[in-house]
Structure 1
Amino acid sequence: MIPDFDVIVVGAGIEGSACAYTLAKNGQKVLLLEQFPLPHSRGSSHGQSRITRYAYTQDYYTHMMLDSYPLWDTLAQETGVQLFKQCGLLNLGYENGEFLDSVSFAMGRHGMPFQSLSSEEVKRRYPMLNYPPSYAAIFDPNAGSLRADKALAAFHTMFKKYGGVLHDGEPVKVITPGQPLVTVTTTKGHYRGKKVVVATGPWSGKFLEHLGMTLPLQPFCSTAFYWRERKEGTHAPDNFPCVYDNGEGDWRSQVYGLPSDEYPGFVKMALHLGPKVDPDARDDADNKWVRDTMTRYVRDHLPGLEPSVAIAEACIFTTTPDYNPVIDCHPKHSNIIIAVGFSGHGFKLAPAVGKAVTEMVLNKPLSYNMAHFAVSRFTHTPSHL
């Protein structure tokens, strides 16, 4: 007999796991399917750290973060695991430029504290940084680092405690739309659900083609580089914040960094994105230009670090043309919900994404303006099914 569920979630990365957890917490009978044995390092949700922040140029993300922060706190309390390290975030950009103006507007609109720092104030407060006089900063004191691996495991732990069923090492072969039930066929069996949530990360472009959807999703390989401190402890969270440099506004020049914490004595600094990649051939990506770019960056702007890569860890970001995710119902099958394309900034938003998807599944009033995430903003539409 084919087992039935209220909801089947495909993909146990951070977004799918947050959705599954929130749905189970709201009384749904949920099956969470993951193609790889857990934990794994092939997708977008592994590693020890992710920046979380209120500071965004788009105030609709700031709005979502107002929910994400307390929801992360709730998950930490449920599991008894520390998931967040508060050290602040220094947003760097050209003084009086559009980036810093947009960040301060979004923060101010939602009543969030922040500090505007001149180039001289940045240098005085953080002598380990070296940026040109044309630069200024917005400091977000409530930002910091999420413990990524622990956060993902926490969602899985509580999902199962709320009655959820997790199957890892079980790739989905096909989703067969239907009313009132959708059938999901895996390498190990068949399952039926009233609703299905597709959160397949870097594999979403390929996966959604089988559901008649062609979305402009592009996976990129983003390599996190770690750089050794010349003097250990100088870049610890107590005196060095997370850093985001908007550069020229193009993703090829956007750099992020986290203090020496996950690997004591090593600071994480990386480009936001890297070369285009096939998720099934991630390690074939040529990231020499990324390594060379970051080596020059560290040499020029972080004199307290050795300008040679000590550790490199690969991850995949899946982007859309406007760098907003797709969180919407399938245009032809309303009981299939798509949550993909988080463009490298979805981890921190995951609890709010789980809340939004749960509201969609349960037909509740929506907490957020979902027009920013609609399928219809792209010209590509389902071609069959």
Structure 2
Amino acid sequence: MSQELYDCIVIGAGIQGSFTSYHLAKKNKKTLLLEQFPLPHSRGSSHGQTRVIRKAYEHDFYVHMMEESYQLWSQLEKETNVQLYRRTGLLVMGPENGKEFQLLKTTLERNHVPTVNLLGDEFSKHIPLVNLTKGNGALVDTTAGVLYADRALKTVQGLFQRMGGVIKDGEEVNAIKPGSVVTVMTASGTYSAKSLVITAGSWANNLLSHTGLHLPLQVFKINVCYWKEKVPGSYSIHRRFPCFIQVESEESNHHIYGLPSNEYPGLMKLCYHIGPEIEPDERDRQTDREDIDILQRYVARCFPGLVPVPAVVESCMYTMTPDQHFILDSHPTYSNIVIGAGFSGHGFKFGPIVGKLLYELSQGEVPSYDLSPFRIRRFQTHSKSAL
């Protein structure tokens, strides 16, 4: 009996792989989505109930991509009748004359993103229970809000399956054989396809080693911290408290970000945008709490309505590139192998548009956007033929 031939196999059922599969199935491409862990799981980068969605970026190309990403999120809501987004606004704080804050501000203005600047007394009036650091500016990206992450992942996977797509979870890939037909092997079976898309998050380089490619990716463990409100509801999504990003602070040059209380009643999500480097299969051996110490000092100083000790600490993984931009590209040796990697802790909101772009690359189509910021060649990485 001849083996079934797929149009495309996607490895990794996080948000990027799931949206890639969705776009493939929508175009009637016979698609297999492989996931190493039983679904749903919390071992990668796409789990958890909430993520920030925003247009507040320093780079025009991200703002332009987010325009369509918002539209695609809305389209998915209409297709499934499931709410995936709640508008809250995003408060951006940082040194008024700092390079990053000014760049964000001018990029938003240049792209006509609806924004409110908060000055002096206006800040206290509109954003209670937050202490704005002296010398800091503040603005609100009014289009921003909260994405319901777990719900989004489940929704897009379900729609992919309803369109005829196949998901096989609990199947770790142990070999990839490139060629005009790509062969993928797991402990449970061997699968073949005309093209392959790798969206394996922190395990990307493990898989790419089968193809002779190594990318400059680092994996970090992020402590996802939830902080108790002294008065329940003070920072609640139901009171339209905004998401926020502090681009620089007295405590650190790295971003601190937060989302209004939602998944745990009475607890606000507030995190540090970096952590210790780890091996993805051994992340729980890393117990470094330096980031939590930084957050405690920040919360005590700037969020007087929160108890400055985290009530709940969960974990997530960031897969970082040196410039913190994504990798969206075809393999330098095998054009029918496509890579989506290095989403650097800010990729979830781009899921619908990244999925579309990876679909286009997998089918040899001209991408909808200029992908030069996301090409592998920017790292001057060399590949060698797979053995």
Q: What is the distance in 1 between the residues matched to 2:233 and 2:125?
A: 18
Aligned pair count reads 384
Moved more, 120-129 or 333-342: 120-129
User: How many Å apart are 1:124 and its aligned residue?
Assistant: 2.9
Write the mapping of 1:95-114 to structure 2, written as runs, cut at 5 A.
95-114=96-115
Q: Deviation per CA, 1:268-305, whole angstroms, max 9, x where unpaired?
A: 00101111111001111123111111111111110000
Q: What is the distance in 2 between the residues matched to 1:249 and 1:12?
A: 38
Contact 1:256 1:269 in 2 (8 A): yes
User: How many Å apart are 1:206 and its aligned residue?
Assistant: 2.2
RMSD: 1.5
Does 2:276 match 1:275? yes
* Counterpart residue identity of residue 233, structure 2: G
Contact 2:101 2:247 in 1 (8 A): no
Give the match for residue 266 of structure 1.
267
Q: What is the distance in 2 between the residues matched to 1:251 and 1:234?
A: 26
Contact 1:252 1:274 in 2 (8 A): no
Does 2:264 match 1:255? no
Contact 1:119 1:137 in 2 (8 A): no
Write the mapping of 1:211-360 to structure 2, written as runs, cut at 5 A.
211-237=211-237, 238-247=239-248, 253-360=254-361
Change (3 A) 1:383 1:71: same
Q: What is the distance in 2 between the residues matched to 1:104 and 1:65?
A: 16
* Counterpart residue identity of residue 354, structure 1: G
Q: What is the distance in 1 between the residues matched to 2:323 and 2:147?
A: 25
Contact 2:327 2:342 in 1 (8 A): yes
- Segments of 5+ residues of structure 1 without an aligned counterpart are none
User: How many Å apart are 1:117 and its aligned residue?
Assistant: 2.0
Give the match for residue 204 of structure 1.
204
* Counterpart residue identity of residue 201, structure 1: G
SS of equivalent residue, structure 2 residue 349: coil
User: How many Å apart are 1:74 and its aligned residue?
Assistant: 1.2
Contact 1:251 1:273 in 2 (8 A): no
Q: What is the distance in 1 between the residues matched to 2:292 and 2:61?
A: 33
User: How many Å apart are 1:123 and its aligned residue?
Assistant: 2.7
Give the match for residue 158 of structure 2.
157
User: How many Å apart are 1:110 and its aligned residue?
Assistant: 2.5
Give the match for residue 142 of structure 2.
141
Q: What is the distance in 2 between the residues matched to 1:11 and 1:138?
A: 37
Contact 1:103 1:138 in 2 (8 A): no
Moved more, 135-144 or 246-255: 246-255
Q: What is the distance in 2 between the residues matched to 1:210 and 1:91?
A: 42
Give the match for residue 190 of structure 1.
190
User: How many Å apart are 1:208 and its aligned residue?
Assistant: 1.3
Contact 1:119 1:132 in 2 (8 A): no
Change (3 A) 1:117 1:337: same
- Segments of 5+ residues of structure 2 without an aligned counterpart are none
Q: What is the distance in 2 between the residues matched to 1:366 and 1:210?
A: 26
Contact 2:220 2:319 in 1 (8 A): yes
SS of equivalent residue, structure 2 residue 112: coil
* Counterpart residue identity of residue 132, structure 1: T
Q: What is the distance in 1 between the residues matched to 2:186 and 2:309?
A: 44
TM-score (norm 1): 0.97
* Counterpart residue identity of residue 184, structure 1: V
Q: What is the distance in 1 between the residues matched to 2:135 and 2:111?
A: 28
Q: What is the distance in 1 between the residues matched to 2:204 and 2:361?
A: 20
